[in-house]
Amino acid sequence: MPDDAPRVPQRLDEVADAAARAFRLLPAAPQDLPASERQQHSPARRIRTDPDTVERDLMKLVLTLVELLRQLMERQALHRVDQGDLTEDEEERLGSTLLLLHDRMAGLCEQYGLDMKDLNLDLGPLGTLLPSDD
């Protein structure tokens, strides 16, 4: 553990600096903008609460959260592969699992009449919830 001791505070400082930079980059809240600039921002899309579509809307919300977690797990897996933390068997099993999860997500989207793009909620001034595939 002596090798890790000096690195942990440095990593915490890096995380704190990154968070500070991210918060400085956030746009002002709509009420803080001059009236002329408020018109340029479109309101965020909202989930409709129509009784006829409540099941689909709820599934959209759940699938959005699952897709966010899937993408985070995928990024973590890629990071671990790049670091060489996994054996070839572990890499293969992880890749197969992530592909299977993606296929199941696509199947559930199809079952509920959704597209994977529908899961990317607009958070208004913060942008979209999920990163784009570009």
Average pLDDT, stretch 13-37? 63
Assess whether pLDDT exceeds 70 at residue 36. no
Contact 114, 63 (CB under 8 A): yes
Contact 109, 115 (CB under 8 A): yes
Percent of the chain, pLDDT > 70?
63
Q: What is the largest CA-CA distance in the chain?
A: 60
Average pLDDT, stretch 4-28? 62
- Which pLDDT band, with edges at 50, 70 and 90, does 70 fall under? confident
Dist CA 132 CA 134 (whole Å): 5
Q: Which two tokens stand for residue 26?
A: 């956030």
